[in-house]
Chains A and B, each alone.
Chain A
Amino acid sequence: MTTQQTGYRWIGQSMKRVEDPRLLTGRGQYVDDIALPNMTYAAALRSPHAHARIRSIDTSKAKAVPGVILVMTGAEAAQQTGPLPCFASPPVTQYCIAVDRVRHVGEAVAAVVAESRYIAEDAADLIEVEYEPLPVVTDPEEAIRSTGDAVLHPERGPNNIALQRTLTFGPVDEDFAKADVVVRRKLRWPRSGAQPMETVGALASYDDATGKFSIYANTSMYNYVGWLMAMSLKVPAHKLNIIPTMAGGSFGSKLFTHKVPILAATLARACGRPVKYVEDRIDNIMNCDNHGSDRIYDLELALKKDGTMLSLRMTVIDDYGAYLQFGVGHHGNALAQLTGPYRIKSAQVSLTAVMTNKGQQGAYRGFGSEVNNFAVERMADAAAEALKMDPVDIRRKNFIQPDQFPYKIPTGNVYDSGNYEAVLDKALGMADYHGWRRKQHEARKEGRYVGIGLVSCQERSVFSATEFWFWNHEPGFALTSSPDSVDIKIDPTGKAFVRLHAPFWGNSPETVATQVLAEQLTIDPVDITVTYADTDSGLPGTGPGGSRYTVMIAGAIAGAAKEIKEKMFKVAAHLLEASESDLELRDGRVSVRGTDRGMSIGEIALQAHYFKLSLPADFRSGLDARYTYDHPYTTLPNADRTDMGVFYPIMGHMCHIPIIEVDIETGQIKFLKYVAVHDAGTVVNPMTLAGHIRGGTVQGIGSALYEHYYYDSSGQLLTANFADYLIPTLMEAPENIEVGHVVTPSPYTEYGIKGGGEGGRMGAPAALASAVEDALKPLGIKIDGLPIRPVLLREMIREAQQRRTEDGAAEDLQGPSDWSGRSSREHLGGPPGNAER
């Protein structure tokens, strides 16, 4: 069994988060906490229609409300501000306020600036808009066939297909021809999304003396692509400073939130006063631009009789909603681990990305790979059942073996390292898998439906930019860099100052930076402070996302620390009259190896800052360094896209085993146990990683059992508030998610760290589907869609019971189930029956 390499002082410690004291005492300074003199407040008027032409807007009544400063329509805003940033190719035009046409419910049609948010909302109520409704498209399969007025973006082409492409990796047809069995399944992954406690917000001001914007915002990526906001605002990049605020959660959804800051800035320029615009909850749910994947899969897995997996074919339709800000990057992402932890030799993906009248997709913990995991793991279970194998055995049989790393999968991505059996075995042990199989058998005799789920899936980490564009037929901006930077200074008193160039968005960047720097410089964490750069002072910073930030800042800090150490050694060698090669850094002192002669970092820093004449002539004063760390291992895709190159090589892994019981009379699911074992390489902080795993797992339980952005056929979002969009609370979570770690260090990263930010949500949905299906095996029920809501489960159970009565089948508790001849339950992802509110 692999265990964490020891010998580190701070790496691997469950140090308390350095962010917490100010966050927990209400001093976090979220965007809504920031106030500027003369500040005003904005509210938006939201479209009640999913698809309509805007005939006319009358703002006169709103403008007459005392306290109203400005009312702006989309057409007026577009005179000053261009389209929002878009990474799709060709781009899809979207404005911060809709112009001429609304494409989803909730899209802003006008904005009001007033002395208070109350007045702004009162006035927004008085704006009169005349709409001409257009045909609404909400069904992704129907969207493929849309014509005429049902086409959302006619300038892009005569239909609602955003992108259609088939990528083939390896000899798929030959491998299918060799197969003894082909397992097929149709799956439905419904739309859900991140629900951070803080919504998206911005406080923008415009200085007409300098022609410069300042925007406080809780967005990320501002030091990567923030200049795109300047382009939208039609100012040069140096006329826009984006100042990060602490983000009250993101889970991906604040990856690059540009609409809100651009709207606030547009209004601020127009009214000449600072404007604060913070989404309310309904705004955020409808308009956050970060809905998650919404996919229909047709899957085929080719196998040998003995369970050897040969090839995988996926046909997937993905409903992107009304706009396409990140292109189909989510499917680029999924190619990182398309074939899971298995030695599948070839694969094919046929993607049809469609546009519908829903909020657009963005980022949500997993960025499309969580869906791929669901697909692969459902197929592994289906294969086990078809071949009458144990779900554990079929996985074990197909795992990539520890001595096969680095391992290149059919898509071209490389997995750096792993030991999948070690993770599996640890999870089986922690869960008492075999014991529970016996208990399950006993329970069935009592008419109780206990289910054991098991998944073994990948957690790709440290994204590289190529995934955003390599699906495109003609990539517009084929960027290949995704670096992160730090600058570090040691002040004259020997204290360390770290500046990050990406924001806090709910993770623990300060804690990680502190632990890594403490390790590097052998100093105490209390002597380190961490701050965040704005864009004026920013270095390249791609920022968190794709489970990358811990790895990236560890690399950047190690790089900067190396330069600082060199400087310290230079000073110390000179003053101690020793050779640099005889020096060592230990416990915050540079000393001559094997002697007690040395200097503390504080003493060195004092010299470096104030005693130039005591130092070598070529010594530049101060003790600081900046370092930009590039993605450790990226290569280009080839021209015909039969090989995507290496873009996500830092490969984590997990095994989740939930044990649940279904009440077949109510369809409710109860947790009996939950085990999650992860390999995230070298662990920097076991406590915060376990927090990620547990929180992510509960989020995955949300996706599996509760959460659904459900649009009815008229495009109304029926779950636009927290009474209807159900997030699991502590009461719905397993009492204890038992977390285990297996450590296979990455050969490509500093300390061998792998990312671990998304893992829980990347495993739990598939694990829950597996567990529920296992529980209901006696009834022959298949789980092909999410969320597995009690109403739907009960409906399937009722049908199964009726089928049984009609067939006159005896209560055969171990009865076989007919996975093959079964018709797919397409409505599982949808609402029951003729749902009416």
Chain B
Amino acid sequence: MKPAPFSYVRPMTVEEALFALAQQGDEAKVLAGGQSLIAMMNLRLLKPRCLVDINRVAALDYIRQDNGTLAIGALTRQSAAETSPLVLQHCPLMTEAIQYIAHRPIRNRGTVGGNLAHADPTSELPAVAVATDATFVVRSANGQRTILAADFFVGHLTTALRPDELLTEVRVPPWRPAGQGWSFMEVSPRKGDYALVGVAATLQVKDGACQAARLVYNGVAGRAQRVPEAERALVGRNADEAAFREAASIASQRVDPHSDFHATAAYRRDLVNTLTRRALAQALARCGKRSA
């Protein structure tokens, strides 16, 4: 379990990193927390010729807030985001979701940007990004562009990032004011394992009626999957157990999960059903509260 030979660059600035990526092209991989990349290299599933280690690029490590928009630098450690008051205030859904990522020592190394760029379909953060309409700021030596979360995730471990591009920032639009509830729930084989199924749910309720809802799942498809049909079943109705049951049932029928050793498709559907119901109930209970 030793990686194949590779060369190594350690830029100190974003520009240096972009330059290295431009030079190396397809041969290079960005090294962030290494919690996914190094394991794949040790198993020789990946044999990059060059690693561009961004761990010294301090300019990518920040959590800021700008008029309610939360901006997280790509190199921010998952544990830093997990414990950040700013994240809790502006996106409590993310705070809750991060607790399902791996274990503390892994979150101490693993980065927010690396997690999103890795695009594991069972990952929690992509579901949160899609549920909150986050945007991704990416840069290359040729310039900068922003990509909507819904467009960023293409499929299993695949994103809209080009080989010479660096993800630099995630932007989460302002958390809607009072009346917004949220919940992240998940079932995994053990605590900290990748999810069998997870759900990011948000719910906006006024006078008992549901005004808006988001239901995004990890673990049921090649990427984080939003189920608009289930969301529509909620909007305009009383936010109650009956509505939640119906949305859950629709969601479990709309998803088309795969079977593997740890879970059958049928089991994943059952989990979608149960977790949707439970998450919506929790979101409802949190409506009007800023944080849990």
B and A form one assembly: yes
A residues with a Cβ closer than 8 A to B are 117-118, 121-122, 125, 280-282, 665-668, 706, 710, 718-719, 723-724, 726, 728-729, 731-732, 789-791, 794-795, 798, 831-837
Query: A-facing mask of B117-142, CB < 8 A → 1, else 0?
Result: 00000000000000000000000000
Query: Which B residues from 262 to 287 make CB contacts under 8 A with A?
Result: 262-267, 270-271, 274
Contact A732-B2, Cβ < 8 Å, known A125-B44, A791-B262, A798-B266: no
Interface contact A724-B262, CB-CB below 8 Å: yes
Stretch of B82-90, B155-163, B175-183, B189-197 that contacts chain A: B189-197
Stretch of B21-29, B54-62, B66-74, B253-261 that contacts chain A: B253-261
Closest chain B residue, CB of each to CB of A710: B261
Interface contact A732-B267, CB-CB below 8 Å: no
Interface contact A833-B264, CB-CB below 8 Å: yes
Closest chain A residue, CB of each to CB of B5: A122
Interface contact A666-B190, CB-CB below 8 Å: no
Q: Smallest distance from the beta carbon of A636 to chain B beta carbons, Å?
A: 47
Excluding A790-B189, A832-B264, 18 further A-B contacts by CB distance (< 8 Å) are A118-B2, A121-B44, A282-B43, A666-B270, A666-B274, A668-B187, A723-B194, A729-B190, A729-B192, A731-B191, A790-B267, A791-B262, A791-B267, A794-B267, A836-B258, A836-B259, A837-B260, A837-B261
Query: Which B residues from 188 to 242 make CB contacts under 8 A with A?
Result: 189-194
B12 in contact (CB, < 8 A): no
Assembly CA distance A667 to B260 (angstroms): 17
Of listed A666, A831, A836, residue having the most chain B CB within 10 A: A666
Residues of A within 8 A of B265 (CB): 833
Tally of chain B residues near chain A (CB < 8 A)? 27
Residues of B within 8 A of A280 (CB): 1
Q: Smallest distance from the beta carbon of B260 to chain A beta carbons, Å?
A: 6
B46 in contact (CB, < 8 A): no
Interface contact A795-B261, CB-CB below 8 Å: no
Residues of B within 8 A of A836 (CB): 258-260
Assembly CA distance A256 to B141 (angstroms): 59
Give 4 nearest A-B pairs by CB, closest first. Answer: A731-B191, A832-B264, A665-B274, A280-B1
Q: Smallest distance from the beta carbon of B117 to chain A beta carbons, Å?
A: 20
Q: Smallest distance from the beta carbon of B218 to chain A beta carbons, Å?
A: 16
B292 in contact (CB, < 8 A): no
Per a CB cutoff under 8 Å, which of A122, A281, A710, A795 touches B267?
A: A795
Interface contact A726-B267, CB-CB below 8 Å: no
Residues of B within 8 A of A789 (CB): 189, 262
Assembly CA distance A282 to B43 (angstroms): 9
21 contacts between A and B (CB under 8 A): A118-B5, A122-B4, A125-B4, A280-B1, A665-B270, A706-B190, A719-B261, A726-B193, A728-B190, A789-B262, A790-B187, A790-B267, A791-B263, A798-B266, A798-B270, A833-B264, A833-B266, A835-B259, A835-B260, A835-B261, A837-B261
Closest chain A residue, CB of each to CB of B4: A122
Closest chain B residue, CB of each to CB of A120: B2
Closest chain B residue, CB of each to CB of A730: B191
Q: Smallest distance from the beta carbon of B9 to chain A beta carbons, Å?
A: 19
Per a CB cutoff under 8 Å, which of B191, B193, B259 touches A832?
A: B259
Interface contact A282-B1, CB-CB below 8 Å: yes
Interface contact A831-B261, CB-CB below 8 Å: yes
Per a CB cutoff under 8 Å, which of A732, A791, A837 touches B191?
A: A732
Interface contact B261-A121, CB-CB below 8 Å: no
Per a CB cutoff under 8 Å, which of B3, B43, B264, B271 touches A666?
A: B271
Interface contact A117-B2, CB-CB below 8 Å: yes
Assembly CA distance A790 to B270 (angstroms): 11
Q: Smallest distance from the beta carbon of B142 to chain A beta carbons, Å?
A: 35
Assembly CA distance A117 to B190 (angstroms): 33
Residues of A within 8 A of B259 (CB): 832-836
Contact A791-B264, Cβ < 8 Å, known A668-B187, A836-B259: yes
Interface contact B270-A794, CB-CB below 8 Å: yes
Assembly CA distance A791 to B271 (angstroms): 10
Q: Smallest distance from the beta carbon of A683 to chain B beta carbons, Å?
A: 33
Closest chain A residue, CB of each to CB of B268: A791
Interface contact A832-B263, CB-CB below 8 Å: yes
Assembly CA distance A832 to B264 (angstroms): 6
Interface contact A832-B267, CB-CB below 8 Å: yes
Assembly CA distance A7 to B152 (angstroms): 73
Of listed B5, B43, B264, residue having the most chain A CB within 10 A: B264
Contact A726-B190, Cβ < 8 Å, known A666-B274, A795-B267, A835-B264: yes
Interface contact B2-A121, CB-CB below 8 Å: yes
Residues of B within 8 A of A724 (CB): 261-262
Assembly CA distance A121 to B5 (angstroms): 10
Closest chain A residue, CB of each to CB of B194: A723
Residues of A within 8 A of B2 (CB): 117-118, 121
Q: Smallest distance from the beta carbon of B197 to chain A beta carbons, Å?
A: 9
Residues of B within 8 A of A831 (CB): 261
Assembly CA distance A732 to B189 (angstroms): 10
Residues of A within 8 A of B193 (CB): 723, 726
Residues of B within 8 A of A791 (CB): 262-264, 267
Assembly CA distance A280 to B1 (angstroms): 6
Residues of B within 8 A of A794 (CB): 267, 270
Assembly CA distance A281 to B187 (angstroms): 27
Interface contact B190-A731, CB-CB below 8 Å: yes
Q: Smallest distance from the beta carbon of B135 to chain A beta carbons, Å?
A: 31
Residues of A within 8 A of B1 (CB): 121, 280-282
Interface contact B4-A795, CB-CB below 8 Å: no
Q: Smallest distance from the beta carbon of A656 to chain B beta carbons, Å?
A: 22
Contact A729-B191, Cβ < 8 Å, known A117-B2, A724-B261, A835-B264: yes
Closest chain B residue, CB of each to CB of A798: B270
Assembly CA distance A281 to B262 (angstroms): 20
Q: Smallest distance from the beta carbon of B47 to chain A beta carbons, Å?
A: 9
Q: Smallest distance from the beta carbon of B59 to chain A beta carbons, Å?
A: 33
Assembly CA distance A121 to B266 (angstroms): 41
Interface contact B189-A706, CB-CB below 8 Å: yes
Residues of B within 8 A of A718 (CB): 261
Assembly CA distance A679 to B2 (angstroms): 46
Q: Smallest distance from the beta carbon of B51 to chain A beta carbons, Å?
A: 15
Q: Smallest distance from the beta carbon of B235 to chain A beta carbons, Å?
A: 25
Of listed A122, A791, A831, residue having the most chain B CB within 10 A: A791
Q: Smallest distance from the beta carbon of A252 to chain B beta carbons, Å?
A: 23
Query: Which B residues from 138 to 152 make CB contacts under 8 A with A?
Result: none
Query: Which B residues from 30 to 82 make CB contacts under 8 A with A?
Result: 43-44
Residues of B within 8 A of A125 (CB): 4, 44
Q: Smallest distance from the beta carbon of A602 to chain B beta carbons, Å?
A: 49
Assembly CA distance A837 to B263 (angstroms): 11
Residues of A within 8 A of B270 (CB): 665-666, 794, 798
Residues of B within 8 A of A118 (CB): 2-3, 5
Assembly CA distance A831 to B5 (angstroms): 37
Q: Smallest distance from the beta carbon of A135 to chain B beta carbons, Å?
A: 23
Assembly CA distance A61 to B260 (angstroms): 37
Residues of A within 8 A of B187 (CB): 666, 668, 790
Assembly CA distance A724 to B190 (angstroms): 11
Q: Smallest distance from the beta carbon of A821 to chain B beta carbons, Å?
A: 26
Per a CB cutoff under 8 Å, which of A726, A798, A833, A835 touches B189?
A: A726
Q: Smallest distance from the beta carbon of B273 to chain A beta carbons, Å?
A: 8
Assembly CA distance A835 to B262 (angstroms): 9
Closest chain A residue, CB of each to CB of B44: A125
Closest chain B residue, CB of each to CB of A724: B261
Residues of B within 8 A of A117 (CB): 2
Per a CB cutoff under 8 Å, which of A122, A665, A710, A732 touches B190?
A: A732
Assembly CA distance A833 to B264 (angstroms): 7
Assembly CA distance A285 to B4 (angstroms): 22
Closest chain A residue, CB of each to CB of B277: A665
Q: Smallest distance from the beta carbon of B128 to chain A beta carbons, Å?
A: 21
Assembly CA distance A791 to B193 (angstroms): 15
Closest chain A residue, CB of each to CB of B258: A836
Q: Smallest distance from the beta carbon of A562 to chain B beta carbons, Å?
A: 51
Q: Smallest distance from the beta carbon of B57 to chain A beta carbons, Å?
A: 27
Interface contact A795-B266, CB-CB below 8 Å: yes
Residues of B within 8 A of A732 (CB): 190-191
